[in-house]
Amino acid sequence: MKPRLMICASAVVLFALGTQAQLVAQHTHYKLIDLGTFGGPASYLTDPGNGRSILVLNNQGMVAGRASTSTPDPNAPNCLDVDCYLAHAFRWNDGVLGDLGTIPGGNFSQASGINARGWVAVDGTNGEIDPLTGFPASRGALWRDGQLIDLGTLDGGFEVDAVYINNGGQVIGFATVGTSPDPSGLSFLVAPIHPFIWKDGVMRDLGTFGAPDALPAENCNNQRENLVAGVTFSSLGVSAFLWDNGKMTNVGTLGGTQLFELMCANNAGQVAGGSTLAGDLIMHAFLWEKGSIHDLGTLGGTFSTATWLNDAGEVVGGATTPGDESFHATLWKNGKIVDLGTLEGDCASFALANNAQGQILGESYSCDGTVQRTFLWDKGAIIDLNAVIPPGSNLQLAYATNINDRGEIVGRGLPPGCHEDDVSHTCGHAFLLVPCHAAGAKGCQGNTDAAAGINSATAKTNTATASPDPQRTKEFVDRLRAQRFPKQAAEGNRR
């Protein structure tokens, strides 16, 4: 498939708690559920693969993703997945990992998002080769009530990619138009690319806002019908738009010509993302609302980016500190910017998602970049999630993805023998964390004893960081910048 953008990052910390007792008293412990696989080595949510600003966990606790089977990919070494095993899309619900199958003629599928009804947007192969790219064509589908429905194509094009599904049952995605190469030469799929809305067998072309090509943005928690944020790209740069019930509005920029492809809207119609300033050398996070774009600023450095926003307009992401010495998880709320710091002893962090309760999910990185830890920031304290799961758990939590309004969390973890230095985590498993007050006693026994293993250092706000390395910080920011610029990312997503 065409993996969308991956963001390698982390986050953690705010106000210091003085004692271990305070930490244990204020923070929930979790039941850890390893979602498993279909006989292969790995399972995935949106990492690696789709960008991590896509909703794959709904408020009913259902999870969508993909899991490898025991069948090696016949296209190796040009594999559709990084572990070189064929994978099928899944929906996990109430302890059951359900195989959603593949599109007729295909042998690979992956979930792209889930809505409140438990319907799943799916991408897969159908056995066809796109003659313009020479690779297996992508075909989007909707899994609903046990059926996998092929979305069809747009104006006879070869490629259809389902990005997410909203609560109204609309699948939002992008597709190639026609069978001729894009005259602009900008399309990473050779043919022109348009965003679409599909519902009940009808695919509506949203157009390109006057540019050669356009893509829908990821949805974060946007579940409104007929509301799509996205970007257009042309030789003049990248421009953002909001499509609302047939009306397209230009979101604008902060003075530059580049916007991140990976931005998203909330149900209130606000849009968060990142834009270059005049000269295209500096990039800042922004929040657009009611026709105005607002620069959210940085932590004193030159770079910031937004990854998620909740319906209260609270934005999370990351920003550089003065002199660009460090990169920290960041919260923008009510016009203020908050440095969430890092977990104790780490040098970088990144916030990935927040929920309606103001809880923030992210990752924190060691100073040498070899270790990352998943964290939860809640009520001013940052917690290493590995410290609040049952002792002896079979997964080390590494990547975070979504947190729902019930406080349930999904991500990817490393089972024994799956090492941190395996950057693609070809052996990682998707996990679900359920707060113990919701999970009941089963699966939570012993968690209070595990609390004794949380020392006061876990709760400290580490805004100063431990011996930050400016060169590593620069490399970290450069990777983020490269991953999130649409034009570079499009080239990087060539199969």
Which residues have a Cβ under 8 Å from the Cβ of 18 and sit 6 or more positions away?
456
Q: What is the pLDDT of residue 453?
A: 36
Does 344 score more than 60 pLDDT? yes
**Which tops the pLDDT comparison, 494 or 80?**
80
* Level-2 CATH architecture, domain 20-492: 7 Propeller (2.130)
**Using CA atoms, how far apart are residues 304 and 321, in angstroms rounded to an integer?**
10
Q: What is the pLDDT of residue 28?
A: 81
Read off the DSSP letter of residue 217. P
**Using CA atoms, how far apart are residues 52 and 46, in angstroms rounded to an integer?**
5
pLDDT band at 437 (very low <50, low <70, confident <90, very high): confident
Does 392 score more than 70 pLDDT? yes
Token representation of residue 363 = 């990752």
Does 413 score more than 70 pLDDT? yes
Does 6 score more than 70 pLDDT? no
Q: Percentage of residues in the chain with pLDDT exceeding 90?
A: 62
Q: Judge whether 80 and 74 are in contact, CB under 8 Å.
A: no
pLDDT digits (tens, 9 = 90+) for 195-243: 999 999 999 999 998 888 999 998 998 999 999 999 888 888 788 899 9
Token representation of residue 322 = 């003065």
**Which tops the pLDDT comparison, 493 or 330?**
330
**Which tops the pLDDT comparison, 188 or 493?**
188
Nearest by Cα to 403 from 40, 16, 48, 58: 58
Question: What does pTM read for this prediction?
Answer: 0.87
Which residues have a Cβ under 8 Å from the Cβ of 177 and sit 6 or more positions away?
154, 155, 157, 191, 192, 193, 194, 205
Q: Judge whether 386 and 399 are in contact, CB under 8 Å.
A: no
Which residues have a Cβ under 8 Å from the Cβ of 127 and sit 6 or more positions away?
105, 106, 107, 136
Question: Average pLDDT in the 301-319 region?
Answer: 94
Read off the DSSP letter of residue 475. H
Q: What is the pLDDT of residue 22?
A: 43
pLDDT digits (tens, 9 = 90+) for 70-125: 999 998 888 888 889 999 999 999 999 999 999 999 999 999 999 999 999 999 99
Lowest mean pLDDT among 84-88, 126-130, 419-423: 419-423
Which residues have a Cβ under 8 Å from the Cβ of 142 and sit 6 or more positions away?
119, 120, 121, 122, 148, 149, 151, 162, 165, 169, 171, 198
Question: Average pLDDT in the 35-59 region?
Answer: 84
